[in-house]
Structure 1
Amino acid sequence: MNRYLDQYEDVILREIKAQFPDIAVDKLMEEYIKAGLILRENKRYYLNFPTLESLDSLELDQEIFVREASPVYQALLEQSFETELRNQINAAILVEKTDFARIKMTLSNYFYKVKQQYPLTEKQQELYDILGDVNPEYVLKYMTAFLLKFLKKDQLMQKCRDIFVDSLVVLGYIVQNEDGKYELAIDFDKERLTFYLA
């Protein structure tokens, strides 16, 4: 409906109903009007939110409306954002690069989508099958504790199966070598205790 109103201005309710016969348009329009997304003036309906024309002040998770045919949309698809995850137990920081739609496989995207109850990608679903809907602070505590062991060693052995180690593998933070030991697969700034997932 948003696309329709974006393409055709000065539309009356009868025209909208004709375009969307399978939808309870009256009720939906009232909800959109109450939410401030659609404006009704003189029995005509208009979009009531600005379209994104520039990425200059765009922030991750900002609600926007952008025309798919615009050059801004293509630039948005290529835009990269940086997220930081910290916990209260240790000083480790996980820095991850992500996209605006949060499709890329990162821990930050996983936490965000689970919290917002958004659909998960196939890879994110794989992580969900391991972790489920879990407290981010709890996960970070155990993941960073394992990652910080790389301060002393280049390879780590894990004797018992561990969901946090399995999750780090799925996320691409670590890989298991042919000897069964784990190695870092990302950059690690040992002075700043910061892990970088590009």
Structure 2
Amino acid sequence: MGDADSVDLGPLGSAVRRTELSHGAWVDLCPGWVSGADPLFARLVAGVPWHAERRTMYERVVDVPRLTKFYEPGEPLPDDELVVMREALSAHYRPELGEPFVTAGMCLYRDGSDSVAWHGDTIGRGRTQDTMVAIVSLGSPRALLLRPRGGGGRALRFEIGHGDLLVMGGSCQRTWEHAVPKSVRAAGPRISVQFRPHDVR
């Protein structure tokens, strides 16, 4: 991989803007944390073994409207730049999180009709413990919405893409929900890379 294909990571620290939510939840945002990410985006689209999930809804088996791949702890990541990102995030957040990020979940939203419904990452320790999920958004911007669990109140909206970083922390996974809604406007492809600590899914 030559320098022309490498990405540049911006500073964290004071570049990160934190929004305190209710019930001990918070969200950090660092716009444009990853610059020069288009070659990385293209490599991931072509090189990740994406697969379509199917699940039962309303007594029917339907396609999940996005493609996914999950990299377990110790499983090689598909691009060295993802390792650099994960190490930088671990170095910044470890004093608060108490542990490193060790997995990488990836979702490919092919166009505006791909989406994910309201949910929290509550498989594993996220159901009962404070944790963090760091999302690096590559490609075309899409809206990520956040609302208190169970609805009520106005949802927060973050348009993230082209190397933006968004981190959900504290109690966010169990007291708030997040979603990527379908877009009625034309939307290009986007990859969401989610770095998580051990036993958070």
So what's the TM-score if we normalise by structure 1? 0.27
Relative contact order, higher structure (CA 8 A, sep 6+)? 2
Which has a greater percent of helix? Answer: 1
So what's the TM-score if we normalise by structure 2? 0.27
Give the structure with higher Rg (CA): 1
Which has a greater percent of strand? Answer: 2
